[in-house]
């Protein structure tokens, strides 16, 4: 907010040609080793812009079945890009070369859509992070098979914090990626970073057509700059991860609460009995992530840059207390 107030002082050139935005873009490119960076308003817009740089109309995107792109973007890729998604079921939200290979049928057949992009998310929709070795293996597989790699980095900061690596370490393994700000404390800013020669051509036109060119771009630039200053993006994400680990420890001490996926970011997924989940819903605005069909369901818990240890401990206590309340359902 302080950065926004500061950016509000005086006049500035519109559409991103202002000092604040130019500096933020240069910093982002330097941090990631990227050739270009475009700021946009939302994570969905970042995914659409990033993919639009990589696809021709007859080409398709291989993604995890559980990915945000496939599940939670209201068909934006299908509608805005007109492209086909080729989803693959995964045990933990992560694609592997074998899983991708299962969608590589029909190549060279003019009747079939042609897979062109592997879409990864770091972190994944299930809170897991690809290791750098896994990313390297996927990149090599993509290169061997004529596939480009796009990485949805709405929560890439949490992955970098978890892996103890730099943004450039992750970015070097893909062709285009997004860098999320909103999930990491910004008011609303994401960036699309291009790593590979030629893919940034026309990016500014795509962004404008996709209605993401802000006339008052300095306010997006100011948010990006604030996140990058003094490594705030990484310390905030690292703090959120620490709070998630604390929450996971507290929740798994409760009887009948198990981790559904390893905690590798700021997300905790727990499997609990359906009855307990319904009871928790009476006390909390809690979202049931999925139902296993065997009387259990998965709950997702997220922590953030501003989650405090006291918040976590109080929540864990309140959850524990609600376990002891008798359900009043007949
Ligand atoms: C991994 C991932 N990608 C993309 C998005 C989309 O972001 P937005 O809601 O800003 O469009 C989200 C939001 O939850 C996300 O978690």
Backbone dihedral angles phi then psi of residue 285, each to the nearest 5 degrees: -80, 75
Residue 127 near ligand 1, beta carbon < 6 Å: no
Output the CA–CA distances (angstroms, integers) from residue 199 to 98, 119, 174, in the order listed.
26, 16, 12
Q: Is the CB of 21 under 6 A from ligand 1?
A: no
Q: How far is the CA of 122 from the centre of ligand 1 (A)?
A: 11
Any ligand 1 atom below 6 A from CB of 271: no
148/199 Cα distance (integer angstroms): 10
| HSE-CB of 189 using CA atoms within 13 angstroms | 27
Distance 218 CA to ligand 1 centre (A): 22
DSSP 183: G
Is the CB–ligand 1 distance for residue 76 below 6 Å? no
Among the listed residues 152, 185, 171, 191, the one whose alpha carbon sits nearest the alpha carbon of residue 266: 185
What is the model's pLDDT at position 292?
Answer: 82
How many angstroms separate the first and last alpha carbons of the chain? Answer: 49
DSSP-based three-state secondary structure for 20: helix
Cβ atoms of 124 and 164 within 8 Å: the answer is: no
Q: In the numeric block, which tokens belong to residue 267?
A: 């997300």
Q: Ligand 1 pocket test: which of 40, 42, 43 has the largest number of ligand atoms within 8 Å of its C-beta?
A: 43
Distance between Cα 323 and ligand 1 center (Å): 32
Closest residue to atom 7 of ligand 1, CA basis: 43
Residue 166 beta carbon below 6 angstroms from any ligand 1 atom: no
Question: Is the shortest distance between the CB of 302 and ligand 1 below 6 Å?
Answer: no
What are the CA-CA distances from residue 65 to residues 74, 88, 91, 235, 273 (Å)?
A: 14, 5, 10, 31, 24
Contact 242, 165 (CB under 8 A): no
Question: From the CB of 182, is ligand 1 less than 6 Å away?
Answer: yes
Instruction: Give nearest CA residue, ligand 1 atom 13.
Output: 43
Q: Ligand 1, residues 40, 72, 129: which to mutate, most atoms within 8 A of Cβ?
A: 72
Task: For residue 124, give the ligand 1 atom closest to its CA.
Answer: 1
What does the pLDDT read at residue 99? 98
Q: How far, CA to CA in Å, does 319 sit from each of 265, 286, 295?
A: 21, 11, 19
Task: List beta partners, residue 180.
Answer: 190
Q: How far is the CA of 44 from the centre of ligand 1 (A)?
A: 6
Contact 186, 4 (CB under 8 A): no
Which pLDDT value is given to residue 328?
A: 52
Q: How many angstroms is it from 52 CA to the middle of ligand 1?
A: 17
For strand 296-302 and strand 288-291, is the pairing parallel, antiparallel, or unpaired? Answer: antiparallel
DSSP state of 176: E
Q: Which atom of ligand 1 is nearest to the CA of 182?
A: 10
Q: Hey, which residues does 179 pair with through a beta bridge?
A: 191
Which value, to the nearest 10 degrees, does the dihedral of the CA atoms of residues 158, 160, 164, 170 take? 160
Would you state the pLDDT for residue 325? 61
Q: Which residue's C-alpha comes closest to atom 9 of ligand 1?
A: 43
Mutate which of 51, 124, 181, 183 for ligand 1? The one with the most ligand atoms within 8 Å of its CB, which is 183
User: In DSSP terms, which residues pair with 177 in a beta bridge?
Assistant: 151, 193
Residues 41/190, Cβ–Cβ less than 8 Å: yes
Q: Is the dihedral of CA 14, 19, 21, 25 positive or negative?
A: positive
Which residue's structure tokens are 């897991």? 128
How far is CA 84 from its chain centroid? 20
pLDDT at 329: 47
CB of 154 closer than 8 Å to CB of 44:
no
Q: What is the mean pLDDT of each run of 10 residues along the chain (330 residues)?
A: 96 97 98 98 98 98 98 98 98 98 97 98 98 98 98 98 98 98 97 98 98 98 97 98 98 93 98 89 88 90 97 93 62
DSSP 184: G
- Assign 3-state DSSP to the chain and report helix, strand, coil percentages, each to 5: 45, 20, 40
């Amino acid at each position: 907010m302080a950065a926004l107030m500061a950016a509000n002082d005086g006049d500035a050139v519109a559409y991103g040609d202002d000092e604040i935005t130019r500096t933020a873009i240069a910093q982002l490119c330097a941090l990631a080793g990227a050739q270009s960076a475009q700021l946009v308003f939302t994570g969905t817009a970042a995914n659409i812009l990033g993919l639009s740089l990589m696809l021709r109309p007859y080409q398709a995107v291989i993604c995890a079945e559980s990915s945000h792109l496939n599940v939670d973007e209201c068909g934006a890729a299908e509608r805005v890009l007109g492209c086909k998604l080729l989803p693959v079921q995964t045990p933990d939200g992560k694609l592997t070369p074998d899983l991708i290979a299962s969608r590589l049928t029909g190549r060279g057949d003019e009747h079939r859509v042609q897979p062109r992009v592997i879409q990864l998310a770091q972190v994944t929709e299930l809170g897991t992070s690809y290791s750098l070795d896994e990313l390297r293996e996927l990149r090599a597989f993509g290169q061997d098979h004529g596939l480009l790699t796009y990485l949805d980095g709405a929560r890439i900061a949490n992955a970098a914090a978890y892996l103890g690596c730099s943004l450039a370490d992750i970015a070097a393994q893909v062709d285009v990626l997004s860098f999320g700000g909103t999930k990491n404390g910004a008011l609303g800013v994401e960036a699309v970073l291009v790593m590979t020669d030629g893919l940034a051509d026309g990016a500014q036109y795509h962004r404008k057509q996709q209605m993401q060119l802000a006339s008052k771009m300095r306010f997006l630039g100011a948010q990006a700059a604030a996140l990058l200053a003094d490594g705030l993006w990484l310390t905030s994400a690292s703090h959120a991860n620490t709070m998630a680990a604390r929450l996971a420890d507290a929740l798994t001490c409760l009887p009948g609460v198990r981790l559904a996926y390893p905690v590798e970011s700021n997300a905790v997924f727990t499997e609990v009995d359906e009855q307990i989940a319904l009871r928790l819903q009476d006390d909390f605005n809690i979202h049931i992530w999925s139902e296993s069909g065997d009387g259990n369901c998965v709950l997702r818990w997220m922590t953030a840059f501003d989650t405090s240890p006291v918040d976590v401990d109080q929540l864990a206590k309140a959850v524990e207390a609600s376990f002891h309340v008798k359900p009043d359902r007949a």
